[in-house]
Structures are given as C-alpha cells and as structure tokens.
Amino acid sequence: MSSHNTADLLVEIGTEELPPAALAKLSTAFCDGLLKGLDDARLAHGSGQAFASPRRLAVILSQVALAQPDEQVARRGPALKAAFNAEGAPTKAALGFAQSCGVAVDSLEQEETEKGAWLCYRQQVIGKPAAALLPELIDAALAALPIPKRMRWGNSHVEFVRPVHWVCVLLGDSVIPGQVLGIEIDRLTRGHRFHHPDAVRLSSAADYLSALRGAYVEADLAARRSAILEQVASLAAEAGGAAMIDESVLDEVTALCEWPVALLGRFDPGFLEVPSEVLIETMQANQKYFPVVDRSGSLLPFFITVSNIQSRDPDQVRAGNERVIRPRFADAKFFWEQDLKTPLGERVGALQGIVFQHKLGTLLEKTERVAELSAWIAEVIGGDSSQTRHAARLAKADLVTLMVGEFGSLQGVMGRYYAERSGEAPIVAAAIEQHYWPKHAGDHLPETDLARAVAIADRADTLVGIFAIGLRPTGVKDPYGLRRAAIGVLRILIETPLALDLRVLFERAAAGFPASLNAAGCVDEVLGYCVERLKRYYADAGDDRSADADVIASVLALDLSEPVDIDRRIQAVQHFRGRPEASALAAANKRTRNILRKVSADEIGRQVEQALLQDVAEQSLAMAVDTLSDKVTGLLDQHDYNAALAELSSLRQALDDFFDQVMVMADEPEIRANRLALLKRIETLFHGVADISLLQG
C-alpha cells in the first residue's frame, strides 16, 4: 500500500541455512529492530510483519514515510549580557557562537525567557529521504540481533549468523540504493533451492508473498507451521490414528522447511515390543518425526516425516526415511533385550563406577545417602520407611543400562520398566520414574508419598552437597540444576502438601556427608537459597496461588522454614489485604514496629498491668486484645490464618483510637513500659501470621 507520501517497505536478507532453533527469535527481533530504527529516525510508519524461512529473514513495514518531516532546530547561545560589550559590539562569545552556526552575528535572534535573554539561532532543517537513511538503519537492526556467535565468509570482514547471498530492499516499487552487510541492494529474491533456483524479480513490496509462493517458498512462518499441522493431522487420520505433536519438534521442522511436504512412513510392528517412550524419543529427538498413536494413546507402527521438497517420486523419499529409522529401532530393541538380562537390583553396585562429583563421591555413595534420608522423610510424613529406602536404592540404577546410556532423557522411565520386569512392587517402580518429577516448570508432581520422599531426598542431598563444596550458582551458571532442585522441593511440599521443615531436612541431609566436608556449616545458606526461590515460585504460580511481593515479604520476614506453613500464611495475607481494614491495620502495625524498634527490651513491660491503664482508649484496646487473645492463639495453633486475621481485623478501630488519643512514650516510666507491653502483645499476635507492617498501601 502506498500514497504520495508513504509506501510499504520490504527488507529481505538472503542467507545460507539459518539455525532452526533461533529462526523465530531472529525474525521477531529483526522486525522490532527495524521499527525502532524508523522511530529513532523520525520516519512515520504503520505496522510491521516478520517473515522467515531457512534461507531468509524478511520484514514488510506498511506505510513508511518517504522522508523525515522538516524540522526547525534551535540552538541557544550566550546570554545577551555576555554576548555584547558596553558599546554594543559582539564579544568573543557571540562571535564564536555565530561562527559555530555558520552565520554572521546579525543573523542571530534573541530569545527572552523567565531566566533572562539569550542569543539564539534557528534553522529550518529539511527532512532526509527515507531511501538515504534505510541502508544504515537496516545494518543497525542486523547488528543488534541476538546472535551469540557471528561468522565471516570469503574475503569479507562483514559478520553475520550465516553467509549472506542477497539483499532485497524495496520501498513501494523502488529499489533502495546502497549496500547492506557489504551486499549491493537489489529487487531480486530467490525461490526454493531445488524447485526454483533462479532469481525472482519483485516489482513491489506487495508482490513478496505471492511471488515467493510461486517459487515454492512459503515465507510466512505461521502459515508454514499451520500447513505442516494440517498435513500431519490428515496423514495420521489416514493411518487410523492421531499424530503426537511435540511443540519443539513442530517449531524445528517449520524452521527447516521452505515448502513442507508431509509423508507417512511405516516401521516393523515387531519394534512395538520396545517401550513406546524409546521409539517416540528416537522419532522426535533424532529424526524430527511425528509418531502416530491410536485412540487409547498406544503407539502405531507409523510415523510422519516432513520433507522440504515436493518429490516426483514420494515413495523413494518415504522408503529412505524408513531405511533410516530401522537401524535406530533395531539398536533400541537390542539395548532393551540386553538390559532385561540383568535384574535392576543387581545393577546398584555398578553405580560405584560413576562419579557424581569428585568431592562428593560416586553415585553409589549418593544413593546410600539418599536412601537413608528418604527413609527418614517417609517416617516424618507417615510413609513406609523400609519400602522407601528400597526404592531410593534402585532409583539411579538404570543409569548403568545400555538404553539410558544411549537415551539419557529416559532415565527414570527405563528404571520403571526394568523394575517392573524385575518383579518390584508397582509403587516402587513408579517411584523410580517419579522421583525425577517435576522436571520443569509446570510439570506434574510425584503421585505417592514414597515417590515424594525419594524426590525430596535426592534434591536435598544435591543442594547441601554442592553448597558444601562452595559451588553455589552464580548468574546464569547452574551446572547442577540447583535452582530447579530447590523449586522442585518447594512445589512438592507446598502443592502436595507435606508438613516438612526445610531446616530440619537440610540438617539431616548434611549429617549424611563425611565430617571433613562440614556440610552442616552450609545449612543456613541452603535454607536461605530455597526461601529466596519462593519469590520466583509465586511469580510463576497460577492465579490460584499467586501473591504480591509485599505479601511474600511480610511472611518471609518471620524467618520461617516450613514451606507449606509459609504458603498458608501467604494465601491468608493475600486474602486479608482485600479487607477494608487491611490498609489501616498495616499502617498501625508499621507505627507499632517503629515505636518498638526505638526502645530496648528492658523498657518494655513484661505484661500489661490493668492498674496502669489510664486512658479510655488504651483500656478499650487492652480489653479487645484480652477478648481476642485466646481465640486467635487457638486459631494459630490450628494454622487457620485466614480466621486469625479476620479476628484481628476487629482491632482496627481500637488501634486507631489508641494512636489518636494516647501518648505511648509517656513521661512516667511505668506508664510508658505498660503501653509498650500492650503494643508488643498486639505485634506478637499479628506476627503469629505475618509482619503486616510490610504491606504497601
């Protein structure tokens, strides 16, 4: 779309095959960078649309101004009193300013302001044409792309993520003159590498998508993704099933194709004897195939591959993919059959040959620590300690199998299969897989207390051990996954829920390490690290558990260490802040805190003496506190923090009257101490839930 003053802008950078994992991010960043460049250059524009394929990054920006607007530039010079001497002759300051502006002193104007009078130079600056500005703007946008490592090619000193072969820039139907990344700008683009290797001449920016589609290139990433989904779903239905769509695989396949053509392949049904997770992992991770399952979710002997070519003989392409998958499945079947020859329990000793961390010993030593710790956790949460200890001893045994050696992501999953085949109890077999849960944000949690105990113990042992040897995570570096481990422990304890104190847990874990390591010395640090992760936990939580930062701070200020209790308090305070009394009570608590901080413990009375209560307001407050105290304490003992805060909310008026009418810091020491004791008693009651003085208005 164009007018006399605007035109659509097309920018396309043609490259060697771009990294598929980064394609969408680079495409979006390129569009955003160009829009920002136009804004900084004062070139008006409409919306932008990003396009990308393996061999191109492109952007179409609508209604781009053909030139900058004209602009009046004003420069202020010296003050008039410094610009001219007593005789009215210009001083060196005035002469120098005029010279810097390229005019005579007589051409300068005077500007009157509230602060005085000044020499001033005004100039009408004609806006530059967009065509003159665009090459530099495009280069700047490309230079700002999030590319961790750039490369050079040929004899050029230009650097980019991949070698660049062409640059097409059209403003309306006009080619922008100049160079980008050292390549002369043209109106030529390229079609599909095989179907249409010749150059494609574009008459205008508006022709871009249709011209490329005619050359077997779908440049719209979203449209290409939708086309793949549609083709894959159709072929899966033909095979009598549905395709398993892994979003990361779909994104990668979309980024690898310019003209996607899906094909249905078949494999020997005999391979279905191997656990489906192995076959699925092979298809998705290694081959970027889409597996096909029946209505019950069971794997069918089909797969769908997406080719970047519309072959004249699709059967040949299909047969080629079937030939590739066959030896991979054959290897998996061999691993499966060989692994089954040794019961899982007999593999535990082999963990002695795998180093967990050279200062922390082998995986066998870790396994023994985790077994004892998980048994103790089981006792605390009411589980079967003997069975839990047994499951923990088997939990890592699949790491020495052939299958997990080839498919590391299936650790735990294969342990479950091998445990079942070894005759282990179903709950033990399930725990072997589930002790790795949750693997990532939003992942499901272990389903039994046995699995939860092993999962917590495994993570606690890692946290304490790694901190003990001084390898706390710094910045983005977290090679032992301690952030994930901490969040995992918190999620299990809070969302199950389980009443387990982190300090006690970490002290128990530390006791499992050799005394020479002094693991006990890092318990406070590990505890602080996990409590700090709570902030991230609530930031990522859904609406049913999210909490404001000041609410979290009000609870964490009490130095608590039982996550499920912390969560109950946070949820109660989050609900409390919606009450009409909350703001006034928070302010009163803040005032109470500030007063008590300024006095020593010796200045506060040990208890509130009724005989020393002089004013009506303090008598009323003390009576209200007496009335509430036992009831609130009972509610706190039951961890009913919502009800406790509801009761404490009734103190609002009495507290307001107290602070309005009573001088806390009375001259008489005994009266002052008694009033401080009353405030201390109120603070203690509120601190049974949280320090609500930290709540913001």
Q: 411-424: per-residue pLDDT in tens?
A: 999 999 999 999 99
Element housing 170 (H / E)? strand 164-171
pLDDT at 315: 94
pLDDT at 76: 87
pLDDT digits (tens, 9 = 90+) for 554-571: 999 999 999 999 999 999
- Count H helices, E strands: the chain? 25, 18
Contact 659, 625 (CB under 8 A): no
- The neighbouring-strand residues paired with 6 are 65
Mean pLDDT of all residues in 371-388: 97
Q: Which residues of 640-656 are buried (b: 16+ CB within 10 A; e: fewer)?
A: bbbbbbbbbeebbebbb
pLDDT at 3: 58
Over 90: is that where the pLDDT of 115 sits? Answer: no
Mean pLDDT of all residues in 337-365: 97
Mean pLDDT of all residues in 621-632: 95
- Tokens standing for 400? 């020495």
Over 90: is that where the pLDDT of 542 sits? Answer: no
What distance lies between CA 411 and its chain's CA centroid? 25
pLDDT digits (tens, 9 = 90+) for 258-269: 999 999 999 999
d(CA 22, CA 33): 16
Over 70: is that where the pLDDT of 694 sits? Answer: yes
pLDDT > 70: what percent of the chain?
A: 99
DSSP state of 284: I
Over 60: is that where the pLDDT of 66 sits? Answer: yes
DSSP state of 448: S
pLDDT at 109: 87
539 pLDDT tier (thresholds 50, 70, 90) = confident
Residue type, 277: E
pLDDT > 90: what percent of the chain?
A: 88
195 three-class SS: coil
Q: Lowest mean pLDDT of 92-96, 211-215, 350-354, 385-389, name the range.
A: 92-96
Over 90: is that where the pLDDT of 236 sits? Answer: yes
pLDDT at 499: 95
- What secondary structure does DSSP assign to 70-136, as a single string? PEEEEEEEEEHHHHB-TTS-B-HHHHHHHHHHTS-GGG-EEEEETTEEEEEEEEEEPPPBHHHHHHH
Mean pLDDT of all residues in 141-153: 94
Nearest to 133 by CA among 57, 49, 42: 42
What is the greatest pairwise CA distance in the chain? Answer: 111
CA atoms lying within 13 Å on the CB side of residue 328: 18
d(CA 492, CA 513): 24
Over 80: is that where the pLDDT of 475 sits? Answer: no
pTM: 0.84
Residue type, 178: G
d(CA 494, CA 408): 29
Over 60: is that where the pLDDT of 635 sits? Answer: yes
Over 70: is that where the pLDDT of 1 sits? Answer: no
Contact 575, 694 (CB under 8 A): no
Q: Lowest mean pLDDT of 104-108, 376-380, 524-528, 644-648, name the range.
A: 104-108
> What value does the mean pLDDT of the chain take?
94
pLDDT digits (tens, 9 = 90+) for 173-210: 999 999 999 999 999 999 999 999 999 999 999 999 99
697 pLDDT tier (thresholds 50, 70, 90) = low
499 three-class SS: coil
C-beta neighbour count of 402 within 10 angstroms: 16
- Tokens standing for 474? 């710094």
Angle (deg, nearest 10), helices 221-238 and 23-40: 160
Q: Lowest mean pLDDT of 1-5, 168-172, 386-390, name the range.
A: 1-5
Region at 475 (left for phi over 0; alpha for psi -120 to 50; beta for the rest): left
CA atoms lying within 13 Å on the CB side of residue 660: 10
Q: Lowest mean pLDDT of 104-118, 171-185, 380-394, name the range.
A: 104-118
d(CA 440, CA 409): 13
d(CA 566, CA 490): 11
d(CA 383, CA 427): 12
Contact 171, 132 (CB under 8 A): no
Over 80: is that where the pLDDT of 247 sits? Answer: yes
pLDDT at 688: 96
User: What residue has token string 């086309």?
Assistant: 227
Which ranges in 340-445 belong to alpha helices (H)? Answer: 363-381, 385-394, 402-406, 413-421, 426-434
Count Cβ atoms within 10 A of the Cβ of residue 346 and give its class: 0-12 exposed, 13-18 middle, 19 or more buried.
exposed
pLDDT at 2: 52
Count Cβ atoms within 10 A of the Cβ of residue 264 and give its class: 0-12 exposed, 13-18 middle, 19 or more buried.
buried
Rg (CA), the chain: 36
Beta strand 116-125 with 71-79: parallel, antiparallel or unpaired?
A: antiparallel
Nearest to 59 by CA among 47, 67, 68, 43: 47
